[in-house]
Structure 1
Amino acid sequence: MRRLTTAVTLLLALGLAGSATVPAVAASTDPARGPAAARPDDAALRSALDAVIAQGVPGAVAEVREDGRVWRGASGVADLSGRPARAGDRFRAGSVTKTFVATVVLQLVAEGRIALDDPIGRHLPGLVPAGANGAEVTVRQLLGHTSGIPNYTDVLRRLPDPIRTLQHSAYTPHELVAMALREPWAFNPGDQGHWQYSNTNYVVLGLLVERVGGHPLGREIERRIVRPLRLTDTLVPATPDLPGRHLNGYEWLDGPGASPTDLTAFSAGAFWGPGNMISTTADLNRFQRALAEGRLLPPWLLSEMRDTKDTDRPGRSYGLGMEANTTVCGPDQGPVRGHSGSVPGYNTFSFTSADGRRQITLAVNVDLTKTKGADEAIGRVLATALCRPAPARPAA
């Protein structure tokens, strides 16, 4: 796998379930809100989205919001038989799921049912042992990837033909945790200055939500977020299927000259907790906007979520289920906030500008790490949507 070097590299969540034809574009304006200053240019967005397809990506869908104005676009195909992609197509959202799970956990904190610094053993006794230093993993450390718990997807990556094997797997959450804990820990819980992305953290958090909330993880997400926000195309699937009109997901597992593998149907348990949601660009933008406006969490917990720590990559920091990234628009404009997601066949990016006015959710139906040039093209879409234009130079 080649090493990506653009801003998209820093936005992609890591590894399996990591932290991503005829154009059909429509735009709408809310007259009650009036025109917005320095809004993204429709033609530039359309051109940037088409440029992603020119790099070999089958299909791309996006929605951009600024104040009351919404731009929706699609380019390329939803499947390789030629069905055009549509802006409202569903897709696998990958690790954008983590922000939903983190929000539910923080709602349980707001209700006084758990505390951020509770040891996880208080709620899930015997699931996660203490580190070699005797310290127990806390809820906060799980949310922020500072627990040191090994990443179960690193283990899965060592399987023969890992993606096809995982596609038809039937792992339970407890099996995923046990798989990870057979590996050496990255560091001890509480070690200062250490951070490592681990999907296992969010498997454990999913089990915590079920234990404390009293319902399956998907049900808790549905009743706390999906239904209140009317996210009509968002679900946590119980089967491998991707229902409704959707993007098919593809990877060229046998090399660029071979036939692609269709990964649309995928094990419902493979990424349970860290990356198993299905959604649309409109639903994810609606969720991110509600979160940013304080409609899902009280101010003090939203502040905790946004309190980021440095990661292993320059320009990228991480809070409690939320990324902050200065590589998209540059440090002078401040970080964009949200999450990226990568599961086999799909990459998703869902971010809000530093000033909170602009949002984009963008999804493509291929693994960008295997598509030359697509990472740079995706970066241009994100920058077009989220960054303020440079001031005009005075005439000479």
Structure 2
Amino acid sequence: MSTLDPTKLQAALDTLHRAGMPGVFAEVRDADQTWCGAAGLADVATDRPSTADMRHRVGSITKTFTAAAVLQQVEHGELALDTPIGHYLPQLVPGERGGSITVRMLINHTSGLAEYLPHAYPSLAAFPIVAKTTPKSFDDNRFTRFHPTELIELGVAAAAVGAPGGTPGVYSNTNYLLLCQLLELVTGTSAEKCITRNVIEHAGLHDTELPAGPYINGSHSLHYESWFGMIDPPRDYSVYDMSWVGPAASLISTVADLNRFYGLLLSGEIISPSSLAQMQRTVPVISFEGKTIDYGLGLHKMTIPGHGIYWGHDGSVWGGGAMSMTSADGQRQMSVAVNLQRWNQLDAEGKPQAHPIDDALRAVIQLALCD
């Protein structure tokens, strides 16, 4: 029997909006019951309301799609998880590291390859010491068209953040741009086309795409970036060339499509049960926020005491964020999207301060997943 309480779920979204989130929308599924709701504004200048069917940039949730496409090629015998990346792409990861970093290490972020973003965006050069960064590069690069190999070279040239295969791993988009080059090598087509055909279309996701240009087609929210209070008031970055992350984090989707995708993935309908078991082999990985997460092959593992295990991913881009989680038995699902990012101010030591949004967002997630 379903335990969804629409009144409480809507109240939780309303509380999140009142805490300072401009707009939020979500879909929650429990067995055969589905609830969707929204609160707040998609555009604060016009008072256009958020709606649950809006399309949205979902950031690193894209990584699950990319990982699934790679595992499909493993199933076809075109790739092997424990073969070094230097075997496939020696020109991109040459020498000893190319012979030590495996495909698996790229997918679960244990390669030791650094994040390229602070090198591509000069104003973020001090990241993750956010107090010494500025958001200037966001505007400078709104319509910059990056080539993925250019970004990969920046990440490979940077100082390593760990030894290949060492744990905890360190989260890095460099890993996933390399996986996209790998997909291109073995399929003879772009990673975007491969993921679209073999994952997005295979799953019947009609409102999901890897965008070719800087715009979000269809009904969508604006994406407000604060960068820890340095952009005040927060500025909209929904129009943005996403080549700075490509199929590592550029996906546009809806909360309904995300729930459908993870439901099919975890029931073995996108990749085989044996491949899914590989995805669910986790290692500790340090996130961009400095937190240690349980990370598999493109999947986060979340354990809620007394309520069990959930699988999925979260993600953010400039101004937009989302999270999608599904219970291990597939019965309970939650996808939620928000249109403000980096809302925390910095204290005197340069560390993000607590904000009412933090507790309100946690309450939405807790209620949606386990009442």
TM-score (norm 2): 0.88
Return the offset for 1:230.
1.8
Instruction: Write the mapping of 1:120-159 to structure 2, written as runs, cut at 5 A.
Output: 120-131=85-96, 135-155=99-119, 156=121, 157-158=124-125
Paired letter, 2:363? R
Paired letter, 2:61? V
Counterpart of 1:16 in structure 2 is: none
1:52 and 1:259 map into 2 onto residues whose CA distance is: 18
Instruction: Write the mapping of 1:90-239 to structure 2, written as runs, cut at 5 A.
Output: 90-131=55-96, 135-155=99-119, 156=121, 157-158=124-125, 161-191=136-166, 193-239=167-213
Write out per-residue CA displacement over residues 334-380 of structure 1, whole angstroms, 9 at most, x where no aligned residue: 33210000111111000012432100110001104437221211111
Write out per-residue CA displacement over residues 35-54 of structure 1, whole angstroms, 9 at most, x where no aligned residue: x24x2211111111111101
1:46 and 1:131 map into 2 onto residues whose CA distance is: 54
- Contact persistence 1:333–1:354 (CA under 8 A): no
Counterpart of 1:317 in structure 2 is: 294
Is the partner of 1:118 in helix, strand or coil?
coil
Deviates more, 1:364-373 or 1:230-239: 364-373
1:151 and 1:253 map into 2 onto residues whose CA distance is: 18
Is the partner of 1:65 in helix, strand or coil?
strand
Write out per-residue CA displacement over residues 178-233 of structure 1, whole angstroms, 9 at most, x where no aligned residue: 11122100122133x33111111001011111111221122111111222222111
1:258 and 1:194 map into 2 onto residues whose CA distance is: 35
- Contact persistence 2:202–2:270 (CA under 8 A): no
Alignment counterpart, residue 32 of structure 2, candidates 56, 68, 76: 68
Counterpart of 1:14 in structure 2 is: none
Counterpart of 2:352 in structure 1 is: none
Paired letter, 1:138? T
Aligned residue pair count: 347
Return the offset for 1:106.
0.3
Q: 1:184 to 1:257 in 2, by over 3 A?
A: closer
2:104 and 2:292 map into 1 onto residues whose CA distance is: 22
Alignment counterpart, residue 248 of structure 1, candidates 222, 236, 240: 222
Q: 1:356 to 1:368 in 2, by over 3 A?
A: farther
The alignment status of 1:272 with 2:246, answered yes or no, reads: yes
2:363 and 2:168 map into 1 onto residues whose CA distance is: 31
Structure 2: give runs of 5+ residues left out of the alignment.
Answer: 126-132, 346-354
1:148 and 1:369 map into 2 onto residues whose CA distance is: 29
1:187 and 1:310 map into 2 onto residues whose CA distance is: 13
Is the partner of 1:311 in helix, strand or coil?
strand
1:112 and 1:274 map into 2 onto residues whose CA distance is: 23
- Contact persistence 1:131–1:188 (CA under 8 A): no
2:159 and 2:77 map into 1 onto residues whose CA distance is: 34
Is the partner of 2:15 in helix, strand or coil?
helix
Return the offset for 1:154.
3.5
Is the partner of 1:95 in helix, strand or coil?
helix
The alignment status of 1:78 with 2:46, answered yes or no, reads: no
2:343 and 2:164 map into 1 onto residues whose CA distance is: 31
1:257 and 1:206 map into 2 onto residues whose CA distance is: 32
Alignment counterpart, residue 45 of structure 1, candidates 9, 13, 17: 9
1:179 and 1:311 map into 2 onto residues whose CA distance is: 21
Is the partner of 1:76 in helix, strand or coil?
strand
- Contact persistence 1:350–1:362 (CA under 8 A): yes
Paired letter, 1:323? H
Sequence identity (%): 38
Is the partner of 1:239 in helix, strand or coil?
coil
Paired letter, 2:161? A
- Contact persistence 2:302–2:309 (CA under 8 A): yes
Is the partner of 1:370 in helix, strand or coil?
coil
Is the partner of 2:301 in helix, strand or coil?
strand
